[in-house]
Amino acid sequence: MQRPVWAPEDIDTERPSVARMYDYYLGGSHNFAVDRAAARAMMEAVPEAPLMAQANRAFLRRVVHYLIDQGVRQFLDIGSGIPTVGNVHEIAQRAAPDARVVYVDVDPVAVAHSREILAGDERATVIQEDLRHPDRILAHPEVRRLLDFSQPVAVLVVAVLHFVSDDDRPGDQLRTLRDALAPGSHLVLSQASDEGRDETQRAEAEQVYRRTDNPLWVRGRAEMTAFFDGFELVEPGVVWVPQWRPETAESAENAEQAVFLGGVGRLGG
């Protein structure tokens, strides 16, 4: 296939990427044939896959509006993926033009396209880094240039943790981030859960993602809640993402079909 102009020369266009699969679920155009094939295989195993991605993006939108209403003006979005409709900086800066956003992703395509989108926006930037290295994220010059950690920061880890195994100690990584935050900061988490899922569907979904560099690591509500150690959970706590402060009662119906659990914690003090 002809390499698109937005694709860096050093990426493998023959191996599916979870970021580009997610872009496909959301109706984006920054994906390759191999990503679309893997995404369609996932949809055969779990037909709700596009709904899951869309519900998670809607959760992100509601959370950003909530945080802006709480006075938060700084956002650290880790595992941000490929920017599609409803990016954090678009939502935040539309409501609060002084909002500052740092995107973090390990995928070179996500980073490259983010740089294109953010060109000329002095209040938003992107770095290539991994959640599993929080010290490197916190020390990065671009992060330090744009974010003031003596003031509240919202750390967003949305649709990421199911690609981080327990062996990588995600709780430790989140605590490192927490310890760098000022009172009034927030932690936002969402990830795929296997609660109530058919074992066959789960096995098929895991098989699809073994083709990528990011196999699935699903978790339940208790494990998700434990990740908010040191934070005060914002009501309604850890719930299926359509149930987190829904805009209408109807939008929260059959919420378990979204598969993602999510929640928001506030750092007191």
In DSSP notation, 80-146 reads: --S--SS-HHHHHHHH-TT-EEEEEES-HHHHHHHHHHHTT-TTEEEEE--TT-HHHHHH-HHHHHH
Instruction: Report how far residue 18's alpha carbon sits from residue 225's, in angstroms, rounded to the nearest whole number.
Output: 24
Instruction: Report how far residue 35's alpha carbon sits from residue 46's, in angstroms, rounded to the nearest whole number.
Output: 16
Q: Which residues contact 104 (CB under 8 A, 6 or more apart)?
A: 76, 77, 78, 79, 80, 126, 127, 128, 129, 131, 137
DSSP 8: -
Residue with tokens 């609060």: 96
Task: Say if CB 259 and CB 48 are below 8 A apart.
Answer: yes
Instruction: Report how far residue 146's alpha carbon sits from residue 165's, in angstroms, rounded to the nearest whole number.
Output: 30
Tens digit of pLDDT at every position of the chain (269 positions): 566 666 666 666 778 887 788 888 888 877 888 999 999 988 887 777 788 888 999 999 999 999 999 999 999 999 998 877 678 999 999 999 999 999 999 988 788 878 888 888 999 999 999 999 999 999 999 999 999 999 999 999 998 998 898 999 999 999 999 999 999 999 999 998 877 666 665 565 555 545 445 567 788 899 999 999 999 999 999 999 999 999 988 888 878 877 889 999 999 97
- Domains with residue ranges and CATH for the chain: 55-201+211-266 (3.40.50.150)
Q: What are phi and psi of 231, to 5 degrees?
A: -110, 150
